[in-house]
Structure formats: structure tokens, C-alpha cells
Structure 1
Amino acid sequence: MRQTWRWFGPADPVSVDTMLQAGVQGVVSALHHVPTGAVWTPEEIARRQSDIATMRDGRPSGLKWEVVESLPVSEAIKTQTGDWREHVAAWNQSLHHLHAAGLRVICYNFMPVLDWTRTDLTWARPTGARCMRFDLADFAAFDIHILARPGAAEDFPEDLREEAARRFAAMTDAAREALAANIVFGLPGAAERLTTADLRDLLATYVPVTDAVLRRNFNDFLEQVAPVAQDLGMRLCCHPDDPPFPLLGLPRIMSTEADYAERMAAVDLPANGITLCSGSLGARHDNDLPGMMRRLGDRVHFLHLRNVRRDSDTIPASFFEDEHLGGQTDMAALIATILEEEARRKAAGRDDWQIPMRPDHGQDILDDIGRGGQPGYPAIGRLKGLAELRGVELGLRHAGFGA
């Protein structure tokens, strides 16, 4: 596995120097300040590459931008409304510019409205660490009582509606505002910031977009961008839904192995691939992560390794972001299947035999706490996760797994 690290640009409190000291091999980044639907220009791409290549004191870092995460897909493309055709053309133009700059791996997602959803960004653990949590009752309280989405109550069972009402009644105004802010936080570092009113407006645009319509629109998008990536020798890798079940009355179409198999078959090109995120997919008890890697590994172009612990095996379920080797995904078994896939690719002579991996998210520990970094992206918590994942990989290689 090629060890990478996500960086949100010059405003990221975790610096290039920190990445270098962590011993990563490459950097995952994006132009979050560029509005969704606009072309990523060669000048902006080069500026980000220069930022990554330079330490604080001006010396070269030796690091390179290796994976794009994410090249955003606009809501217009997902709903096929407004300027969606122009946005697809801009997406393809951005691919050409990224290719010219030497980038080959492009992560993106097709989640409606919100890129990820949590109800608590600093949930306290018994150790004193802080992590992100999705609490189903708190989410129901937001959906039914704060957002007041029409028909929201019908999406939750009676016992959950009652618990949501109790929690909402016990919340102060400040607690209600904090819950709403957490849920609409979206992607850290993004150019846009949603308000509750913005969220209501966006949800209204999705009223005619059923599950079947969103799948059709995704296939249409893939038919227009995957051949371009294939011709350029680039690899597109779709990130799963996070969490992997319907929320806010919106369809979710990248939540299971069957969803991925359907998308890969719809546009059956090697460039049309997968970001295997063990944390997002692990929030469902019926997602077998080692099995998915074994069966879909040929199209896995990027890896997010993190772990979650679910409160139950229901779908949906509450969960929190556990330590990288904690949680309910057998990380050693997953990494073993990754190393086997890399060995198979290497034997077949594939140039992409080494799959880029990043330690996804991390708990706030030690000096991370109170630093005010991007939620889920602390320096020390991720370094701990990276060290643990490295240890598992090295141990497995000594045991005979991999190339």
C-alpha cells in the first residue's frame, strides 16, 4: 500500500512539515476553494502542487500531490437540472488539466446534498479522546423537530420518534444550533457552507429524484466521464455513501457491494473504479469488507482505512469512529486481502499494482484536543492510525502476504 495523507491546503492547521515528519509517501488534496461546477485551471493545480512541494522554511519537501480527493460532482449533475451539461464538460476539462499535471487517481462521490453526516464532531471517549459520532436519535430530533422536513417522522419507528422528541425537548437553543451545524457541516475545507435553510432548499430539488432516477443519472455521468479517464490513463474511484443508508428522504445508491457491482457493470471500464472506505461501508453490519476487497479488488483504485463501532446491527444504526484497529471491521483481514490483490496486480504487470491508502479520520488525542483542526483530521490521531496500519502491513508481509 502506498501511504498517503489528506491535506486541505495552506489553511490546514496540519502542515506540510507535519506530513513529512509523519513519513507519508504522497499527498491527497483538492482545490476546495474552487466552486463546484467550475473548471480546475492549470494555474490553480500548479499552485497546490507547489504548496505541497515546499516546507515552511522554503526547502523542498520531496512530497507530491498524488491523489485528488475530491473533484466534486455538482447537485445539478446528480439531479440533471440547470447547467448540469456544462458542469460535466467542466469536470472532463478538469480531468485533462489534472492529467497534464501528472495526476492519475481521482476520488469523487455521488451522495445527494451532504458529503458525510455526523451528529457529534467531538464525542468524548472514556480515555479522554474525542471522535465523530452519528447518533440516530439525535439525527431524528434534527430531521423531525429542527429541520421539520415534511414526512420526516414517517421515516423513523415509533420508539425512535419518541426518543427524538425527548431529546429535542431537553436541548437548549445552543445545543439545537450545534446539532444542526454538525449535520450540515458537509465536507471539511469545502468552498460552500450550508445553513439549515440551504438544506431545505436543496432537499426540495430532490423531490422528483427517486432511487431509480439517481442511479440513471449516475450512469449517465459515468458514460460521459469514464471514457475520458480511460483514454487519459486515469483512474476514477467513487467513494461510498457516508453513512451507507438513506437520510433526509434522499436516495443512497453507493452503500453496498451490490451497488458497486451495479455501477462497475454499467460502464465496464478499468477507469471506472472504487474508493474502498472501510469506515463508511463498515457502518452497515452486512458489508463484508475483506470479502468486498477480494471480489471487487480489481477495480479498487484508492483505500480509506478507518474503523467504526455500531451500537446495533440494525440498518440504519448509530455508530462512532473507533481507533483504526478497534471497531468491528477486522482490519488485519482487510489488509491481508489488499496485499494479496497488490501481489496479483504486480504479477500481472500492472503499473497500478500499489494502491494508494490513507489513514482515514482519527480520534483527537493528546495535543489534538482543543487545537481546532478539521473534524476527523487531527495530526496525532492520524499519525497513530498510520503507525498501526503500517505495523499490520509489515507483520503480514513477514507472514508471507503480498508481493
Structure 2
Amino acid sequence: MIEGWRWYGGFDRIALSEIAQTGAASIVTALHEIPYGEIWPRRTIAETRARINAAGFEWSVVESLPVHERIKRGEGDLTELFANYRQSMANLAAEGIKVICYNFMPLLDWTRTDLKAPVKRGGTCLRFSVEKMAAFELFMIERPGAEAGYTTGNIAAAKSWFESSTPEDRDILVTAIMAGLPGAYDRYDVKGLQRALAPYEGLDRNALRQNYRRFLEEVMPTAEDLGLKFGVHPDDPPRDILGLPRIVSNAQDIDWILSAVDSPANGLTLCSGSLGANPENDVPAIARQFADKVHFAHLRNVAKDPDGSFEEAAHLAGDTNMATLVSELLTEERRRKASGRADCEIIFRPDHGHELLDDAQRGAHPGYPLIGRMRGLAELRGIIAGLNHASGRA
């Protein structure tokens, strides 16, 4: 397996020279400065690649080449947006990119209610609280019909939290939820989010699926021609949010996606944290079921609560048996090698991490501290080395 590391380019508080000290071999990044829907210029891609190479890394995975929200909504004439997307794909392929990670989550890329939840023995982590999310939907943005997504107990707890919260508490909650908005452009207050949600009214699961199928039909033939592999990132969290449907949340969803357009380019980014937040998901079993279509992997762990809340655990300490999961990926690598498949090694990255020691002083992107992720990478490296040794492949 190839050790990767997520880097936010010029927006990142962590330098490539520091990432080099973690031992990671491959940088996972994107052109975060380019607005969604615009073409990624080949020159800019080449400059980014040269900077990464000069620091001693490879750049094989883009995370992500974003899908414009109008495509997700199926809104208007999408000809130019699809043409721009395909041109960006061609420019990436021309510069040696092999894998494109992307998601099809409407409006929000990911959602958390706490960016600095305390961790036992020190440090902080990202957390999703059903109680706070319900309070936000029911009592702060007052979304019509929101109560249908919560139990009576959730609603009672949400009301209690809201009534005892201070204006500062509510501001912190808004900031945490807004952190999941993609890119560097749009951040909303409560009223702004209400307006941003309006264009999605009436977008149900079936409509979103059909818009997704069209996206796959538009880009997968080009991906095959260019030798690119696509890996869809699962929903984070794997549940409807703010009335927006989520359609990449479990094995059945993944099977639908991979069957919608039967192409070797159409694959999965296996995110153990996103999938692991759904109590019905057996993440190692999902990895086994779709192993030949895993084009990229995010390895992290979550600890779930009975009410549906969860927090990001240490990489080897959550609800998913990481050794079992990694064993499935190593088995797939051996199968690929035996079949002569060129992309036999799976690139992974330690996804997220606790803020530890002086991480908090850096102001890095939420979930992407230096020390916390380095701990995660070291733990995963140990699991891989141990499994390889046990199988006689050390």
C-alpha cells in the first residue's frame, strides 16, 4: 500500500517539508483556489506537480475535482459544465494524475457539530452530535419538516440544549456546520444557509440518483479514454442532512453506483470513517465486496453512540476493526498483482486525526492536524507491516 497525505496547497498551514518527515510518499491534493465549474489549466496543474515532486513526493490522486452543484441539482443547460469537467480531466491525465476522488453530496461536503470535542487524556477531535444537529435544524434555521428526521428523544434533547445554550454556543455550532461547505468561497450565517437550501427544495433521492447517473454517463467514457480511475467518496455522515438526500451511504448505494455505468473507471474511495458512522455498515465486508473497484482509501475510525452521534476515534481505537479492514485491502493488492493488473498498489491516506500536543496552535484545516495524522499514519504503517510479516511478505 502507498502512503498518501492530504495537502491543501497554498491554503495549508503544514508545509511539504514537514509532511516529508512523516514518511508519506504521495501527496493528495487539488487546485483549491479554482472556483467550481471552471477548467483546471494544465499549466497550473504542472506547476503544482512540479512543486510536489521537488519536495520528494509523487502526485497521483486528486482530491477532489469537484462536481458543480447545478449538476447535482440537474439544473439548466449543463453542457458547458460537463465540457469543462472533461477538459480538466484531460489536463490532469496529461500531467500524470491517475485517480480522481470526488463526492456527490449536495451542498455540504461533510458535516460536524463540534470541531474541538475533548478527547480522553488530552487533545480534541471532530464530533457529530444528533442532539446539536437537531437543535440547529429545528430551532435555529427552523427547517420545515425537520422533525421527521429525528426521534422524540432526539427532539427533546435538542430543545433542552437549545434552551440552555448561549449565543456563543450557537455561533460555535454554526461555524462547525459551515466548515463542511466545500472550497474557500461560500460561508453562511443562519439566514444565508436558509437561502442556500432553497434551490434544493424538491430534490429527492430518486432525482439525485438520476442526476448522478447522468454525471457518470457524461464523464466515465472520457475517463476510460484517458486512463483515469474515479473513486466516489461516501456520504459524511451517511444520513440525510438539512433535508438533503444522501445516496452514497451503504453497500446497496455503492452497488447501484458501480452498476449505473459499468466501467473500469467507475470506482470507490473507501472511506472507513464515513461508512463506519452508519451502524448498519460492516466496513471490512464492504471492502471485500467492492475490492476490485477500490481506487483509493481513507483510513480512519469512529466511535458511535446509541442515539446516532459519533466522534472520530484514534485510528486503531474505534468501532471498525482496522486490522481486518487493512487485511482485506492487502488481499486485494495480492490478487491484483497475481492477475498482472498495473495498479496493484492501493494509495491510502490517514484520514483526519486528533489535535494533539501543539497541533491546536497551527490552525490547520479541521480534522487535518500534523501530529494527530502522523500518529494515525504510524499506527496504520505498523498494522500493514505486521500483516505483511504474518503472511510472509515482510
Q: Does 1:212 align with 2:206?
A: yes
Identity, % of aligned positions? 48
Alignment of 1:357 onto 2:377 = no
Among 370, 373, 382, the alignment partner of 1:382 is 373
1:104 Cα deviation (Å)? 1.1
Q: Which of 236, 239, 244 is the aligned partner of 2:233?
A: 239
Q: Structure 2 length as normaliser, TM-score?
A: 0.97
- State the shift of 1:189 in Å: 5.4
Q: Which amino acid aligns with 1:201?
A: R
Find the residue that maps to 2:117 and give its secondary structure.
Answer: strand
Partner SS, residue 201 of structure 1: helix
Residue 139, structure 1, aligned to residue 133, structure 2: yes
Matches within 5 A, 1:231-380: 231-312=225-306, 317-380=308-371
**Aligned partner of 1:64: which letter?**
E
- Is 1:78–2:69 an aligned residue pair? no
State which of 111, 114, 119 in structure 2 corresponds to 1:117: 111
String of CA shifts for 1:336-360, please: whole Å, max 9, x gaps.
0100000000001111110110000
Distance 2:365 2:358 in 1: 14
Indicate how the Cα distance of structure 1 residues 283 and 177 shifts in structure 2: closer, same or farther if over 3 A, else same.
same
* Whole-angstrom distance in 2 between the partners of 1:301 and 1:187: 25
Q: Which residue of the partner structure matches residue 88 of structure 1?
A: 82
Deviates more, 1:77-86 or 1:222-231: 77-86
RMSD of aligned C-alpha atoms?
1.4
**Distance between the aligned counterparts of 2:137 and 2:312, measured in 1?**
22
Any stretches of 5+ residues in structure 1 without a counterpart? 54-59
Counterpart residue type for residue 323 of structure 1: A
Q: Secondary structure at the match of 1:338?
A: helix
Deviation sequence 1:221-252 (CA, Å, 0-9, x none): 10010111011110000000000011111111
Taking structure 1 as the reference length, the TM-score comes to: 0.95
- The answer to whether 1:33 aligns with 2:33 is yes
Alpha-carbon deviation of 1:83? 4.8
* Contact kept? 2:59, 2:97, Cα under 8 Å: yes
Q: Give the partner amino acid of 1:97.
A: N
1:45 & 1:193 partners in 2: Cα distance? 26
**2:50 equivalent in structure 1:** 50
SS of match in other structure, 1:107: strand
Matched pairs, number: 394
Q: Deviations over 1:15-39 (max 9, x none)?
A: 1001111111110000111101111
**Aligned twin of 1:57:** none
- Superposed CA deviations along residues 345-377 of structure 1, whole A, max 9, x for unmatched, are 000111111011000000001111232111100
- 1:24-78 alpha-carbon deviations (Å, 9 max, x no partner): 111000011110111111122122223323xxxxxx3221222100110011000
Q: Which residue of 2 aligns with 1:397?
A: 388
Question: Which residue of 123, 128, 132 maps to 1:129?
Answer: 123
Tell me, in whole angstroms, the C-alpha distance in 2 between the residues paired with 1:47 and 1:199.
36
Write out per-residue CA displacement over residues 274-332 of structure 1, whole angstroms, 9 at most, x where no aligned residue.
000000000011111111111101100000000000012x6xx1000000001000000
User: Which stretch of structure 1 is more off in the superposition, 202-211 or 354-363?
Assistant: 202-211
Work out whether residues 107 and 181 of structure 2, in 8 Å CA contact, stay in contact via their aligned partners in 1. Answer: no
Aligned residue for 2:10, secondary structure, equals: coil
Superposed, which structure 2 residues align to 1:17-32 within 5 Å?
Answer: 17-32=17-32
* Contact 1:34-1:191 within 8 A present in 2 as well: no
Most deviating of 369-378 and 100-109: 369-378
- Give the whole-Å Cα distance in 1 for the aligned partners of 2:283 and 2:149: 28
Superposition deviation, residue 115 in structure 1: 0.2
- Distance (whole Å) between structure 2 residues aligned to residue 271 and residue 161 of structure 1: 43
